[in-house]
Amino acid sequence: MPSPFDQSTYQVRLEWGTAGLARLAPTDIVVVVDVLRFSSTVIDAVVSGTEVVLAEAERWSRNGAAVAAAAAPDATVLIGGVRNASAVARAVQTLQERRQARTSVAIIAAGEADAQGTLRFAVEDQLGAGAIVLALSDRGIDHTAPDAAVAAEGFRALQGALRHMIGASGSGRELAGGVEATTRIEAAGLVPTSTTDAAALDAVDVVPVLRAGAFVPFA
């Protein structure tokens, strides 16, 4: 008997972190959402022509990279956030058209995990996930689990205040004070995406996809 928490009856699902990914039924597509800062930084790196190796990203990202690494090998792993929400929805639609079959999508909000691995809710990831769910709905991919629907409607209501909401979040304030991860990202040769840029809706038209252990542009 399916678990009541696996969201298997819905096409578009939403969960949190690696534990949430494990709770869901197997899915065709996993979208990793870690707005501050794994997703946004990987998106911008790929836009600039840089491939981001997952094994290297795991050294500077405790949250989003862990979700990508935990995805089943037969799932397509996309990186999404506020910056490319509409592009992610278009990529999902393209994948569905190529498969010629109903395609399930697990949107995984990475949240914030402390050094002990305890996960907490992250405002910015809820908004990023909601932006993607809403963009999917606009393309007719709208059989959403309640968790995903709540995120989408929350984003719809708050999208006019994205910059404030993300900047004023706990994660945004933490980054403003300086974090060690910034140094690790820079040491990897990448430019950390700023909190302001991470809140820019549909600023880029590129979706990183995991291919052979590295994130490259979806095509």
Convert 108-162 into a string of H (helix), E (strand) and C (coil). Answer: EECCEECCCCCEECCHHHHHHHHHHHHHHHHCCCCCECHHHHHHHHHHHHHHHHH
CA atoms 166, 171, 173, 178: torsion sign: negative
Q: Find the farthest-apart pair of alpha carbons in the chain and give their distance in angstroms, rounded.
A: 48
What pLDDT was estimated at residue 154? Answer: 97
Q: Is 218 helix (H, G, I), strand (E, B) or coil?
A: coil
Using alpha carbons, select from 191, 200, 35, 38 the residue that is nearest to residue 124.
35
Q: Report strand pairing: 105-109 vs 214-217.
A: unpaired
Q: 194: how many CB neighbours lie within 10 A of its CB?
A: 17
* Eight-class DSSP state of 1: -
pTM above 0.75, yes or no: yes
Encode the chain (219 residues) as per-residue pLDDT tens digits.
679 899 999 999 999 999 999 999 999 999 999 999 999 999 999 999 999 999 999 999 989 999 999 999 999 999 999 999 999 999 999 999 999 999 999 999 999 877 677 888 999 999 999 999 999 999 999 999 999 999 999 999 999 999 999 999 999 999 999 988 899 999 999 999 999 999 999 999 999 999 999 999 999
What pLDDT was estimated at residue 113? Answer: 77
CA atoms of 178 and 149, how far apart (whole Å): 34
Task: Confirm if 51 and 216 have CB atoms less than 8 A apart.
Answer: yes
What pLDDT was estimated at residue 14? Answer: 98
The pair of three-digit structure tokens given for residue 90, joined into one six-digit string: 């278009």
Q: Is 213 left (phi over 0), alpha (psi -120 to 50) or beta?
A: left
